[in-house]
Chains A and B, each alone.
Chain A
């Protein structure tokens, strides 16, 4: 009986224009989005790799100069493009792509790709992920809104009920029928996506695992949407009423909730303005984080420490160049200030995301969004991890350069000495490994719970329903 109902639903949908038109439009968009995603990812990765190795080569090819000049010359770090960007590029268009790693200063990532895009992007830039998150649910709604409400309106639901078919079997059959119709559109797209991953994106084994998890996430999402659609169709007296309610829910969930949640997050945990942030950092650099240790005092303390350590009473007697040691101490003081301020900024972002995740209990699409970007490695936490790694690398350069100056120069001649490529070679090439999937997902426990609750509720509802209102 189950399969008979499913077959009837499927046949009806295939014969109806809805599947053909909506399916073609959404399937087409999905293919376009996947193709555009793979092309963009490949181009970005090639550019990024070329630029990074060029920068690296220039570092090692510096002519003889003072190591502190080399530290000022510094290096640029470019943000990598993870393989699954082609499905979900997440926040990547809205984070900077390049940071200058120079002496004395932690610079922000600059050049948000979205800045160079057209205004149409702000509501017309569909990636495979956004098609799966928002448009496939629309397709499901269009296919299934009338599953019960339509039959009720036509009076065929009463006949069906009189046949003695259990409600659960009826729901199951309709669900399978819609799923089969949906598969006509989605299975080829999934195959294309997998092909793109293996051929186009040069995926590693872990990427394949991530892709599998991503597929599971989206299948669960469609399952949830189907459950809600059938529930509404069962509850509404007419097909048009069911459709209106579903469209309202769809628009609120997909179009309104993400924006409202983002605004709420910002309202509860405000983002500092650029000018305020820069002022706080500058004040910290001048006065220390606590506001009570100006540079002069810090230098005196350092001097006393060094004198005690080497048991001497004058700077000239020190086995190291005091100026260079002081410069490194200055770097370390600045590092504390940067850690404090950038740390607070990213923590603020994390709190904002926390508020958004809480909203996911009301609007489950949000949880899917967060989990999807986390799996793809394109969430804000992944960006933070990369930014932290580049900053660590920047500090490593300072340690090497100032360290060489401390042991190879004397006080007063710090900036008059030149070093050569042997010193540049002390700096290892920049290498970065993205965080493990597990640690990425750790930031989104709340989303996982919210999504889990919704899935559980849908499942319980679908499997325990026993009464059927026929009119």
Chain B
């Protein structure tokens, strides 16, 4: 067997087509990785800018507070006085919630170019916070990024097909099939060896590219979490490559001509890469309608009008807010004539009215995403796509975890500020030191792994079944083919 593999490898090595394909694959993969890494760098630079902006702002805030404690009030107005919790909560002491790209993010841009990865959390309503989608030429977004995930998901199967569509039929067409059959070796094994060598060569190439790319981005892959993510990435690439080889085996096993094999394989690729995702995407959009954002904007404005009409003066907004929030009622020592206090009451009122709307919108959106996650099993391409993005940390899954985290922080921040505002206290340095701090923690490896394991199984099980069927069919075909 080892001897077969070695000889087949020598044969394959002499094949100019293989080298050309390998070169093309590596060239595209390298381009893709450079591309992905540059996008990751943009994100990192942005996050660094924001971190230093925040640090500088909080630092100077601290300086002002120290100055005020000494009785020096130069340059301090009611609109920038950091001792006012309303002012601090709305502007000067606000925090950035950041979603840092993972090292593997350079391998799969995924959905990360559509979702905001930094949010300024203040006492303003939730919708005001998410205005930070990254700027991008829509033409570029439409074309999609050429990242390693795309090369592996879409082009990798095409390379495999080009290498394997005629392993059996070419022998027959050249008339060498009978020769093989006459040898004292198992002809079936010869075919399987041919496929195995090709599979090995291509999959090893894809794995080398992946690991090399991850290493080239300077990633700290030594940490357990990042190492595990890379391992999962490789496992998915392996399982995905295996699937396409089994498809090639099955088509070859039918014993048709090379051209017919090529068309059939192309048909399978076409169905799984193009037709099924298209039907899933369109079907889900139809079955899980999400109210258009325009409707959300109109509804928001309706609430704004409503709040403004019922409370034309801010003092009225305050009393209305207190009526709705017994937590602060009676206990409040806030100066109700302070416009800053009235403004925060008004913002609170708006947030409370808008919340049910956002909650139901988010629920509908997530129902759609969940349906998409279930329907991915209809195509191995969708399974692998989701799994690779999850491993790289650029999927909708990680973004939704980020969304949950910043919404939780937004609530904590508003509670912190509201408590101070309605207790009528001013902020001190120690208050600010004890303020809630934004934090996003990636989900534990275990829950990510169990989700990825399911995807890996979803790739392996059909491969296995198809392989069993093919080997049986191959035997029958060989009997005819001799």
B46 within 8 A of A: yes
- A251 — which chain B residues lie within 8 A by C-beta? 155, 158
For B50, B273, B281, B294, which residue has the most chain A Cβ atoms within 10 angstroms? Answer: B294
Does A275 contact B31, Cβ atoms closer than 8 Å? no
A303 vs B309: C-alpha distance when bound (angstroms): 38
Does A119 contact B312, Cβ atoms closer than 8 Å? no
User: B45, B258, B273, B308: which contacts A273 (Cβ < 8 A)?
Assistant: B45
Q: Which A41-89 residues sit within 8 Å CB-CB of chain B?
A: 43-44, 47-48, 50-51, 54-55, 58, 63, 76, 78
Q: Which A241-256 residues sit within 8 Å CB-CB of chain B?
A: 243-244, 247-248, 251, 255-256
Does A76 contact B301, Cβ atoms closer than 8 Å? yes
Residue of A nearest to B116 (CB): A274
A142 vs B265: C-alpha distance when bound (angstroms): 12
How many chain A residues touch B (CB < 8 A): the figure is 87
B267 within 8 A of A: yes
Q: Which B370-408 residues sit within 8 Å CB-CB of chain A?
A: 372, 376, 381-382, 385-386, 389, 395-396
Does A124 contact B276, Cβ atoms closer than 8 Å? yes
A267 vs B263: C-alpha distance when bound (angstroms): 37
Task: Write the A233-276 contact mask toward B (1 if CB under 8 angstroms, else 0).
Answer: 00000011001100110010001101111110111000111111
A341 vs B395: C-alpha distance when bound (angstroms): 32
Does B135 contact A274, Cβ atoms closer than 8 Å? yes
Does A265 contact B140, Cβ atoms closer than 8 Å? yes
- A108 — which chain B residues lie within 8 A by C-beta? 131, 135
Does A98 contact B278, Cβ atoms closer than 8 Å? no
- Chain A min CB distance to B326 (Å): 30
Given contacts A119-B385, A142-B263, A349-B137, contact A29 B142 (CB under 8 A): no
- B309 — which chain A residues lie within 8 A by C-beta? 63
Does B259 contact A240, Cβ atoms closer than 8 Å? yes
For A110, A243, A274, A348, which residue has the most chain B Cβ atoms within 10 angstroms? Answer: A274
A121 vs B153: C-alpha distance when bound (angstroms): 14
Task: Write the B254-278 contact mask toward A (1 if CB under 8 angstroms, else 0).
Answer: 0000110011001100110111111
Stretch at the interface among A18-26, A160-168, A323-331: A18-26
Does A240 contact B258, Cβ atoms closer than 8 Å? yes
Q: Which A150-183 residues sit within 8 Å CB-CB of chain B?
A: 150
Does B372 contact A118, Cβ atoms closer than 8 Å? yes
Does A63 contact B138, Cβ atoms closer than 8 Å? no
Does A243 contact B263, Cβ atoms closer than 8 Å? yes
How many chain B residues touch A (CB < 8 A): the figure is 83
Given contacts A63-B312, A275-B46, contact A124 B277 (CB under 8 A): yes
A112 within 8 A of B: yes
- B440 — which chain A residues lie within 8 A by C-beta? none
User: A54, A110, A275: which contacts B49 (Cβ < 8 A)?
Assistant: A275
- Chain B min CB distance to A470 (Å): 19
Does B294 contact A383, Cβ atoms closer than 8 Å? no
Given contacts A117-B285, A118-B372, contact A25 B275 (CB under 8 A): yes
- Chain B min CB distance to A90 (Å): 7
Does A263 contact B278, Cβ atoms closer than 8 Å? no
Does A256 contact B386, Cβ atoms closer than 8 Å? no
Q: Which B233-292 residues sit within 8 Å CB-CB of chain A?
A: 258-259, 262-263, 266-267, 270-271, 273-282, 284-286, 290, 292
B30 within 8 A of A: no
Residue of A nearest to B137 (CB): A349
- A142 — which chain B residues lie within 8 A by C-beta? 263, 266
User: A21, A124, A243: which contacts B274 (Cβ < 8 A)?
Assistant: A124
Residue of B nearest to A262 (CB): B143
For B139, B276, B312, which residue has the most chain A Cβ atoms within 10 angstroms? Answer: B139
B227 within 8 A of A: no
A244 vs B134: C-alpha distance when bound (angstroms): 40
Does B259 contact A380, Cβ atoms closer than 8 Å? no
Does B135 contact A277, Cβ atoms closer than 8 Å? yes
B80 within 8 A of A: no
- B276 — which chain A residues lie within 8 A by C-beta? 124
Does A259 contact B150, Cβ atoms closer than 8 Å? yes
- B115 — which chain A residues lie within 8 A by C-beta? 115
- A265 — which chain B residues lie within 8 A by C-beta? 137, 139-140
Q: Which B136-184 residues sit within 8 Å CB-CB of chain A?
A: 136-146, 150, 153-155, 158, 162, 165-166
- B369 — which chain A residues lie within 8 A by C-beta? 118
Residue of B nearest to A257 (CB): B143
Q: Which A1-36 residues sit within 8 Å CB-CB of chain B?
A: 18, 21-22, 25, 29, 32-33, 36
For A118, A150, A244, A263, which residue has the most chain B Cβ atoms within 10 angstroms? Answer: A118
A425 vs B369: C-alpha distance when bound (angstroms): 44
- B49 — which chain A residues lie within 8 A by C-beta? 275-276, 279
- B135 — which chain A residues lie within 8 A by C-beta? 108, 271-274, 277, 345
Given contacts A58-B305, A94-B142, A271-B136, contact A47 B46 (CB under 8 A): no
Given contacts A123-B277, A125-B278, A247-B158, contact A48 B294 (CB under 8 A): yes
Does A124 contact B280, Cβ atoms closer than 8 Å? yes
Does A273 contact B396, Cβ atoms closer than 8 Å? no
- A122 — which chain B residues lie within 8 A by C-beta? 111, 144
B42 within 8 A of A: yes
Task: Write the A310-330 contact mask toward B (1 if CB under 8 angstroms, else 0).
Answer: 000000000000000000000
Q: Which B108-150 residues sit within 8 Å CB-CB of chain A?
A: 110-111, 114-115, 118, 131-146, 150
- Chain A min CB distance to B374 (Å): 11
- Chain B min CB distance to A38 (Å): 13
Given A123-B273, A262-B139: 5 more A-B contacts, CB < 8 Å: A29-B275, A138-B270, A262-B146, A263-B146, A356-B139
Complex A-B: 18 CB contacts under 8 Å? A18-B263, A32-B278, A78-B297, A110-B133, A115-B114, A119-B110, A119-B396, A122-B111, A124-B277, A124-B280, A247-B266, A248-B162, A266-B140, A274-B133, A277-B135, A279-B49, A349-B137, A352-B137
